[in-house]
Amino acid sequence: MASFWPGGSPAAGVADAPANRGPTQMLDEHRLTPASISKLEVHGAPNTRRALLDHVLGPLVADSAAPGTTLGQVLDRIGDATRKLSRFDIFKEEGFNVFLSEAPRPEGAPPADRTDLEVAINVKEKSRLVFTAGTDFGNAEGSAYTNAIARNIFGGAETLSINASTGTRTRSAYNATFSTPVNNNPGLRLSLEALRSATQKPWASHEERLTGGNVRLAWLTAARDTHTLSYASVWRQLTGLSATASPTVRADAGDSLKSAVTHTFVRDRRDNPMLPQSGYLFRAVSELAGWGPLQGDVSFAKTELEAQSNLPLPLRGASLGAGFRFGLLYPLPTGYSLTGPAQPSRINDRFQLGGPTDVRGFKLGGLGPHDGADAVGGDVFAAGSVSALLPLPRTGPDSPLRLQLFANAGRLVALSTKPSAKAKGKAGKAEGQDRDGLALDSAAVFKSVKSAVGELGNGLPSLAAGVGLVYAHPAARFELNFSLPLVLRRGEEGRKGLQVGVGISFL
């Protein structure tokens, strides 16, 4: 009888345990011997539906029945299957145990040409009902939350999660998410979410209240990339303006419904997302709002790309990283037309740029168009950063602490039909101001998007550089940087001196 740990790396738990060495060596020697599974049992899953287990373990038995299957292949497949089971998130990670034994042969049977195995998989189910409360760090925000999770509700790894939180910026947030694997496949999940929140946006002197819901389908490809396709319908209310709110924010106050489909693709090949030393990340988000059958009050196509690459340096623990982000919002007409009049973007749909987790050395929303003190956002942005992470002499390369040298830059530009400074002389003044409504025709939209993209490369980007400390906690990354803005546009808010950043995703 052999026991091994399929969940972790091959070395874990097996190689270092002297008691297991004999059987393991025995298995290694016999990896090429023909084998099949005659019986498979799962223990410790009283609350889990049979169909769920069948879907994962059924193919295992069926595949092993094929002639020519070796013991090694059987073991690999058992490992894959248990990894799949663990992805349902209903079994305890440390609870997996697999026992193999040779099936007893009936009296007087002819000697078999292969080993018939009996497999017993022991699992431990996680608690079905969990209440937690605690504090959380998101990007540039701290919050306290209470959370209730009901796991494996109908025995098919369905999860209901109800969450309430309040934070430094989120005045209140409630959401309930029901999530279930589709077709008993742990790599394909469908979730439904209802949410209600009120978030302060101090960089633009207002509060945004959201009420809405979304449906989300997420799947994992064979190459470990994740895709998410979601539809969201959200009522946004821009309210609670401060006394000093700018005219731009006042003009955008009020209600709007966003109805949008979004596709997100993430390929994360970094060795450690909080302190990457090697590998790369690619993320692409595409959103279509309001067009065609989607309806709603806002209509646009929006895309956001992120790429990050890290290169280890010859010195252990030292690495060089580069990141790039790009985003574009293209106003669309409502309905099925492609050439009809399109409404220019609102502040809650536009991008914000700047802050300790993206372009460091600028205040939160410090880049891009400002109306007085308000960061009013832009429709096109590009940002890039280069940084070197160096181990500190005292703590060494194995600690989560690094010295960081960085330079980052960005441009955030808004669509505008106003003739640019260069063209002002000949273009005349009345253009844009004299048209009937707020809406732009498709030619004007295209022209203004083109000129905004062109504006990205006009002059040096707004730029800051600095030096600081990075501490990578498993839950979040902390940065303390000293930086100085080198180039900016007037109105943009640079930050001279120290800046603290807490977040899970950095440029």
Q: Which of residues 316-345 bind other proteins (CB under 8 A)?
A: 343-345
Assign 72 to helix, strand or coil. Answer: helix
Give the one residue of 5, 88, 91, 203 binding other proteins; rule: CB under 8 A: 203
Record the tokens describing residue 383, joined without a space. Answer: 């940002």
In whole angstroms, give the CA distance from residue 155 to residue 153: 6
Question: At closest approach, how far in Å is the CB of 476 from other proteins?
Answer: 9
By CB under 8 A, what part of segment 145-174 binds other proteins? Answer: 168
DSSP string, 395-429: T-TTSSEEEEEEEEEEEEE----SPPTTTHHHH-S
Considering the complex, state which of residue 100 and residue 444 has its C-beta at the smaller distance from other proteins.
Answer: 444
Write the DSSP symbol of residue 153.
Answer: T
Give the one residue of 58, 187, 279, 432 binding other proteins; rule: CB under 8 A: 432
Give the one residue of 22, 247, 292, 454 binding other proteins; rule: CB under 8 A: 247
- Applying CB under 8 A, the span of 146-154, 230-238, 267-275, 319-327 interacting with other proteins comes to 230-238
- Applying CB under 8 A, the span of 24-32, 72-80, 153-161, 242-250 interacting with other proteins comes to 242-250
Question: How far does the chain reach from its first CA to its final CA, in angstroms?
Answer: 51
The reply to whether 34 sits near other proteins by the rule CB under 8 A is no
Site string for other proteins, 46-85 (x = CB under 8 A): ----------------------------------------
H or E element in which residue 391 lies: strand 380-391
In whole angstroms, give the CA distance from residue 413 to residue 323: 20
Give the one residue of 235, 280, 282, 324 binding other proteins; rule: CB under 8 A: 235
Question: At closest approach, how far in Å is the CB of 35 from other proteins?
Answer: 55
In whole angstroms, give the CA distance from residue 455 to residue 412: 9
Assign 129 to helix, strand or coil. Answer: strand
Q: Within 13 A of 458's CA, how many CA atoms are on the CB side? A: 14
Give the interface size with other proteins as a residue count (CB under 8 A).
Answer: 88
The reply to whether 293 sits near other proteins by the rule CB under 8 A is no
- Applying CB under 8 A, the span of 4-12, 147-155, 393-401, 494-502 interacting with other proteins comes to 494-502
Asked if 369 and 376 touch (Cβ cutoff 8 Å), the reply is yes
Give the one residue of 64, 248, 404, 408 binding other proteins; rule: CB under 8 A: 248
The reply to whether 437 sits near other proteins by the rule CB under 8 A is yes
In whole angstroms, give the CA distance from residue 278 to residue 317: 10
- Applying CB under 8 A, the span of 261-269, 302-310, 402-410, 490-498 interacting with other proteins comes to 490-498
**Nearest Cα residue to 170 out of 202, 143, 188:** 143
Considering the complex, state which of residue 67 and residue 428 has its C-beta at the smaller distance from other proteins.
Answer: 428
